[in-house]
Structure 1
Amino acid sequence: MPAQAADKLLHHTTVPEPWPDWFATLGLPHRAMPGAGRASTSFSLLTQAALSGLGIALIPRCLIEAELASGALVVGASRAGAGQEGLLPVLSGAEAAHLPALRTFRGLGDGGGGPGAA
């Protein structure tokens, strides 16, 4: 995964390997991604980062129900099963329409390639 793309993956510091775990939950191939993404100690900060268009954040649905209902945040993958920690990949609804790379991410689990797919 290119470093620029990995920087767009946002997660909480209490989950040790959130992105590899999330990709594995979907049964997707992925390369080892130690330290992939940017971490925060606050789900509130991750929510604000996602709302601001800084990347795709893994956040528990129960903390962002209002943002999902309003469309301010959208789920970033078409088959976004919550990982073992109950985390969903979400990003700004306003940014989603302007990110061509999101088409690839949203296709995850639909037979499309994933990070590190051959």
Structure 2
Amino acid sequence: MRGSWRGTTFAAVAALLVTAVWTLAQDAEPPDEGRSSWRVPGGVYTGIVVAVRPQPGTPSRLATLETREGSFAIAVPAGSTFILPFAGGWRLGDNDARVRVEGGASGVEVFGLTAAGPVAFR
């Protein structure tokens, strides 16, 4: 039973972060419709968030985190938010990673989470 409060705490913190990120996304400039990748600025990240708004005829979007060490692909259902957490923080230099999304940026928001708050990818 000892670990149960940690899971609940993590879920609550994750929900607050998603709310903060989604609020920032609503205030951000509209995405470039032709864009399909975002460069991850250097920093220490505690997670990466991919949010996909519902779109007719698009059940999910494939997002790929690409680094020098390899890549990690996920399918994010439309209307969902995916958070990839990094427990100890993940230190990246400029141009060390990028996130690609098949089908362009329309309806997609991609952010990093840091101790200082959400960071928009460029």
In terms of fraction of residues, the more strand-rich structure is 2
> Normalising to structure 1: TM-score of the pair?
0.26
Higher relative contact order (CA 8 A, sep 6+): 2
Radius of gyration: which is bigger?
2
In terms of fraction of residues, the more helix-rich structure is 1
> Normalising to structure 2: TM-score of the pair?
0.26
